[in-house]
A and B are shown apart, each in its own frame.
Chain A
Amino acid sequence: MLDRKIAYIDLTDGKIDYQEIPGDLRRKYLGGRGINMYLLNKLAGPDTEPLGAENPLIFGTGILTATPGYGTGRMNISARSPLSGYLADSNMGGDIGAELRFAGFDHLVVTGKSSSPVYLFVNDGRVEIRDASHLWGKDTFETQTALQQELGDERAKSAVIGVAGENLVKFAHILSDQKSSAGRGGLGAVMGSKNLKAVAARGKLDIRVARPAELLDHFKAACDGLQKKKWIQALGTQGTPLLFKFGNRTGLLSVRNHQDNGMGEEGRVLEAENLERYSEGMAACFGCIVHCRHRHHIKEGKYAGTRGVGPEYGGIGAFGANMGNTDLESIIYACDLCNRLGLDLSSTGTYIGWATELYQRGIITEKDVGFPLEWGEPDSMITLIDDIAQRRGFGDTLAEGTFARDKIGKGSEKYMMTIKNIPCGGTDERAVKSFAFGLAVATRGSDHLRSRPGVDLFDLPQDFINELYGGYVSTDYTSYDGKARMIWWHELLYAVVDSLGTCKFQTVFNSPNSPKWQEFCDLLRLSLGWDDITPQELMDIGERIYTTERLFINKLGLGRDDDTLPRRYFDEKVSSGLAKDAYIDEDRFQQMLDEYYELHGWDAQGAPTEATRQRLDIA
């Protein structure tokens, strides 16, 4: 399994260099996000223009991707972000990661810029650069189908951009199948800037594991156990939309660009049960037992013919609650439209929500937008989605993402909900201090997937939670006490998960009894023969990966002042649900930062100390 290679591909001169992955690098960073971060920190810095030829676009599969494990269909894509100016790193599912491994590669490092559109075909140990002129302008679904036809193999998988990526929309995504995306940070624009339309893969190379029979026994036992979990059963029937009811009742939604945090009875039409009439069953990523995604089909009405995968809770939040929109069919359509055009739907919903609040406040008018922009009005929302992808009219302004605030001016930045220039999603975390803090300190910018401790909502027994986190953490989700420790612990865990190539839904994300350090050691022992790996070593690997990311964003100019939240979190109390009157106390927040930096071994400004770098052996 450790024979998979890195391919360095220079699209300017067409040269491709194949290299082995050193064993000591594997043991220090595993793979996936870990090795991506090592490479990015080595290859990019302050002089790297995000949309310049020199920006490395790095694809990385996990060290266990495509092996029997806990949802091992995952991979990461990384670069310097054109949306934030800092770190773009996105973990995606689907089948493309597994197919890259079957084709012989764990990492692709793409630099340069082709003079005309191209795609990469990765096949059984070779990478070819092929003409993609005929694919340019096609949407993401069409592109993938065309590639399968061209390659004569319907099992070929690809990661592609849509017209948004071609048009360098700052929050364009990279999509595989009908939903799996490297969504955040504008990685689709980086791909577009290189004239790279797609990466297609098909492989038939065996992946050899150390102890196949034992690994299969272990996997079967793990699957049997996981399938009994109630939250897995719930996700496997309703998907993440089941979260909407809880979010609405508790007050964890962003409603009308975070002006409210719940929709009350009016929002009940967006609950998961109402999505089921459009569902034709559930879909899963490679090797996953959870199958958490609806395959939807709208057969009648205004959006008849809409067919795809999703939406997730986040999509319902982005184009439902955040837009004050209760038309569920329009939300499904908007999510599909974003996926087809190549837009990160979460970012798109945040920016359109921001623009709608600007319209509400008279900061922009119909003259600026070209049409009225009202809450709960799906037609204008859908028009804007298309305009953004095509960079047409006011859509061209919004296509700049966070930097649209500089074009609009007039105090518009006050209402933009971003962290480190990355837009907040469809949730409002003022009630749950750990959630809010996790977003504030995430290396990528607003990012629930760097640390979200879902178990904070479970009100677990105190002894249990202290043992889990290795120190005191309050069991009250409204408390600040110990939450810095909780976030630190989850950051290390998720850094390892993203480097193994397993799914966060099958670790301590939603249930404290899910696989974690010891179970991952067992997988590495059976898969790789790493008999001496320990939970402590895995935690150190997580710390090394996270600290490498921190060093990367530090050298781009980020520090303590950037580990913060939108002012609305500090200045305005939420008004709905069980969370009514919640806000973030700024003094308590600063105390959490001090605790958090100390746990990581960083100084008071959030810079890793020399001692920490030495301990983790980071050059």
Chain B
Amino acid sequence: MSITVIFHSNLSRITGREKVEMDASYEDVSSLLNGLTAMFPSLKEELYDNNGQLDFEYQILLNGSSINAKGGPSAPLEDGDEITFLMPLSGGLA
């Protein structure tokens, strides 16, 4: 009974983890984020901008699709869901 959270890049450095299993009781992405920042306080500064808004430098995927297509932070969660934080960049062919 859990929700899987996958961290990449900066976030896996901050948390020291690539994957975290969170309790399935979180109802939506927003409450899950609160749970994550309580567990890893440094995440708050990384994930939110100065206005307290989620920073768009990270894309949050719910089961592989952006949460923006599912209601943003209020996107509902269910047991077995997977949340992935990605930092999409472009460069580096050489």
Binding site for B on A (CB under 8 A): 179, 181, 183, 229-231, 233-235, 237-243, 245-246, 249-250, 272-273, 292, 310, 312-315, 317, 345-346, 425-427, 448-449, 452-454, 457-460, 475-476, 504-505, 509-512, 578
Binding site for A on B (CB under 8 A): 8-10, 12-13, 46, 55-59, 61, 64-66, 68-69, 84, 86-94
Chain B contacts of A317 at CB under 8 A?
Answer: 93
Query: Among A229, A233, A240, which residue has its beta carbon within 8 angstroms of that of B91?
Result: A240
Query: Among A234, A241, A313, A578, which residue has its beta carbon within 8 angstroms of that of B65?
Result: A578
Are B90 and A509 interface neighbours, CB within 8 A? yes
Q: How far is the CA of A239 from the CA of B92 in the complex (A)?
A: 9
Q: How far is the CA of A208 from the CA of B71 in the complex (A)?
A: 54
Task: Give B18's nearest chain A residue, CB to CB.
Answer: A273
Query: Among A238, A312, A458, which residue has its beta carbon within 8 angstroms of that of B94?
Result: A312
Measured between C-beta atoms, what is the minimum distance from A273 to chain B in Å? 8
Q: How far is the CA of A313 from the CA of B91 in the complex (A)?
A: 8
Q: How far is the CA of A458 from the CA of B54 in the complex (A)?
A: 12
Given contacts A234-B87, A238-B9, A459-B68, is CB(A313)–CB(B93) below 8 Å? yes
Measured between C-beta atoms, what is the minimum distance from A290 to chain B in Å? 11
25 A-B contacts (beta carbon < 8 Å): A229-B57, A231-B57, A234-B9, A242-B8, A243-B92, A310-B94, A312-B91, A312-B94, A313-B91, A314-B94, A315-B94, A346-B94, A454-B89, A457-B88, A458-B56, A458-B57, A458-B88, A459-B56, A460-B56, A475-B68, A505-B91, A510-B90, A512-B56, A578-B61, A578-B64
Instruction: Beyond the given A346-B93, A452-B91, A458-B88, please list 8 additional residue pairs across the A-B interface where CB-CB is below 8 A.
Output: A234-B87, A240-B89, A242-B8, A242-B87, A243-B91, A246-B87, A246-B88, A510-B90
Q: How far is the CA of A109 from the CA of B27 in the complex (A)?
A: 65
- A-B complex: 6 closest residue pairs judged by Cβ atoms: A240-B92, A454-B90, A314-B93, A457-B88, A312-B92, A313-B92
Task: Give B63's nearest chain A residue, CB to CB.
Answer: A578
Q: How far is the CA of A606 from the CA of B71 in the complex (A)?
A: 41
Chain B contacts of A512 at CB under 8 A?
Answer: 56
Chain B contacts of A292 at CB under 8 A?
Answer: 92
Query: Among A179, A243, A346, A449, which residue has its beta carbon within 8 angstroms of that of B89?
Result: A243
Chain B contacts of A229 at CB under 8 A?
Answer: 57
User: DSSP majority for the A interface?
Assistant: helix
Measured between C-beta atoms, what is the minimum distance from A182 to chain B in Å? 10
Are A249 and B92 interface neighbours, CB within 8 A? no
Chain B contacts of A241 at CB under 8 A?
Answer: 92
Are B86 and A249 interface neighbours, CB within 8 A? yes
Are A312 and B59 interface neighbours, CB within 8 A? no
Q: How far is the CA of A245 from the CA of B59 in the complex (A)?
A: 14
Q: How far is the CA of A511 from the CA of B87 in the complex (A)?
A: 10
Given contacts A229-B57, A234-B10, A459-B59, is CB(A448)–CB(B90) below 8 Å? yes
Task: Give B92's nearest chain A residue, CB to CB.
Answer: A240
Query: Among A250, A453, A511, A578, which residue has its beta carbon within 8 angstroms of that of B57?
Result: A511
Are B8 and A246 interface neighbours, CB within 8 A? yes
